[in-house]
Chains A and B, each alone.
Chain A
Amino acid sequence: MRSCLVVLMVVAVCLVSPAVGAEPVGVGAAWPAISLRGPEIESQRSYLGLEADGPFVLTDVSADIVIVEIFSMYCPHCQREAPKVNQLYQLLLDTPQWRERIKLIGIGVGNSPMEVDFFKDTYGVPFPLFPDGDFAIHKALGEPRTPYFMGIRLGPGGEPRIVYAKLGEFEDPARFVEEIMAMAELK
């Protein structure tokens, strides 16, 4: 019995720790139960369909798919990619069949709120960005390099599941969304 407990402890520690050679979560994996602080900007709360202004989890977002960009203010590729990710956001807004169904957020790994704000201001990022100053989210996601894009299917009823994952830049925003929708088996 005691051995079983110890084994369970080992498994638990391994699951939450940044094990050497840890792999980023990928397609088919459940999205971890990560709590994000609510956006301070009312328009961004409205965009995500959040009713309250406190912390939220991904399933609180009003969408079928949430695209999550894992980025860092300190990452040259993320800096270069920022205008194109802004285009992706605008494309989602401008496309009636996607506007309400697909939402986009970013998580700045190792970035303080100020660093995330600095990135946001520098590149005029219009969609919600969230700080992960202590790398807690980064660790829960298996420590992906940046930028790392994920498409997370939110419904219906089941746990949020990763249906798309991509390390590095995407070429064409429209094709990128279509790939995610295809992987999610949505039209």
Chain B
Amino acid sequence: MKTNGYLLIAVMLLAAGAAPALGESLAFKAQLYDVGPLKSTDSVLKVAEGEMAPDFTLPSVGGEKITLSQFRGNKHVMLSFVPAAWTPVCSDQWPGYTIARSLFDQYDAVILGITVDNLPTLFAWTRQMGDIWFPVLSDFWPHGKVAERYGVLRGDGTAERALIFIDKNGRIRKTHVGDINERPKLDLIVAALKEMNAAP
């Protein structure tokens, strides 16, 4: 009887803790690897608001190399680190930014999307997303070097789901390392862009 009770409680916990599908798009059909619920965050941020953003150069899916400082004096930058290609939440994050280009234009900002996957993987993955208008960068080798420098590399070698807002002077204005299991709301992004663009 006691054993049955424990069994029933275990079933209840399993049912309550199962991972939600998070509105997964049909665009990826059954191609995504379901990682299940993960530890919310698993790193310690190494940059802070007010500091100069560490510069880096990474290869992009488009073929060219992108350097953060090339935007200095010209555009605000939102670094969008996502954990891994072909996983549920990440795969529905950037397609939303695709239709939000006007918002980024409005606030004179660009996005740099970054994962620790290699370029062929990123190429195949982003082709499922429609027309991604912003550069998608590979932080694959040395593995996660940029993510590590910013303090968003997790213990398993993936990146956090993090947003780093960098103004035209190259200074970090806002950081957001969210729960890896949840997509950051557009509300947060718009507020940060607005504030960054309004600042002197």
Contact = CB atoms under 8 A, between A and B. Distances in A.
Interface residues of A, number: 39
Given A13-B12, A115-B187, A6 B27 contact: no
B24 A146 contact: yes
B99 A79 contact: yes
Contacts of B124: none
Contacts, number: 109
A17 interface: yes
B76 to A, nearest CB: 19
Contact of A77 (B19, B26, B98): B26
A130 to B, nearest CB: 14
Contacts of B20: 18, 135, 138-139, 143
Given A74-B23, A112-B187, A147-B26, A79 B8 contact: no
B85 to A, nearest CB: 15
A17 B18 contact: yes
B4 A3 contact: yes
B25 interface: yes
B183 to A, nearest CB: 7
Nearest to A81: B26
B66 interface: no
Interface residues of B, number: 35
B25 A9 contact: no
B92 interface: yes
A20 interface: yes
B87 to A, nearest CB: 14
B198 interface: no
A73 B26 contact: no
Given A75-B95, A76-B95, A143-B20, A112 B185 contact: yes
Interface in A59-80: 72-80
A146 B26 contact: yes
Contact of A75 (B5, B15, B26): B26
Contact of B95 (A7, A17, A74, A133): A74
Given A3-B4, A13-B15, A74-B93, A114 B22 contact: no
Contacts of B98: 76, 79
B96 interface: yes
Nearest to A74: B96
Given A13-B12, A75-B95, A79-B95, 10 more contacts: A10-B12, A13-B16, A19-B15, A74-B95, A76-B95, A80-B130, A114-B187, A138-B23, A145-B24, A146-B26
- Top-10 shortest CB links A-B: A74-B96, A75-B25, A109-B23, A143-B21, A74-B92, A110-B23, A76-B27, A18-B20, A76-B130, A72-B23
Interface of B: 1, 4-5, 8, 11-12, 15-16, 18-27, 92-93, 95-96, 98-100, 102-103, 128-130, 183, 185-187, 190
